[in-house]
Amino acid sequence: MKEDEIYVYGKHALIEALEHAPEGTIKKVFLAEAIDDGKLFTLLKKRNIAPAALSAKNLSGDLRDASHQGVIALADV
């Protein structure tokens, strides 16, 4: 991760970021298979962001221990 990037953890935090952050701020989104939230998917589609599958392979170091609830995004600061 670069110094000017942050991780957004959790469905509600990502929804807030998608609703309020400037276009292009959210770079990547990783979702667990079990995530089924119409509002989240609508916002992702509106921002033209295709989520990737969240798996143990995607998670390294601190991300494994984070309370992400199956939702992690990489955003610019």
Can you give the residue ranges of every domain in the chain?
Answer: 5-76
Work out the burial of residue 22: count CB atoms within 10 Å of its CB; fewer than 13 is exposed, 13-18 middle, 19 or more buried.
exposed
Percentage of the chain beyond pLDDT 90 is 58
Q: Band of the pLDDT at 39, cuts 50, 70, 90?
A: very high
pTM of structure? 0.81
> Tokens 């989104």 sit at which residue?
29
pLDDT at 3 over 90: no
How is domain 5-76 classified at the CATH fold level?
A: 60s Ribosomal Protein L30; Chain: A; (3.30.1330)
Q: In what order do the strands lie in the sheet with 71-76?
A: 5-9, 71-76, 26-31, 52-53
> Tokens 């609830």 sit at which residue?
69
Answer whether 7's CB lies under 8 Å from 64's CB. no
Q: Band of the pLDDT at 44, cuts 50, 70, 90?
A: very high
Q: Which residue has the higher pLDDT, 42 or 77?
A: 42
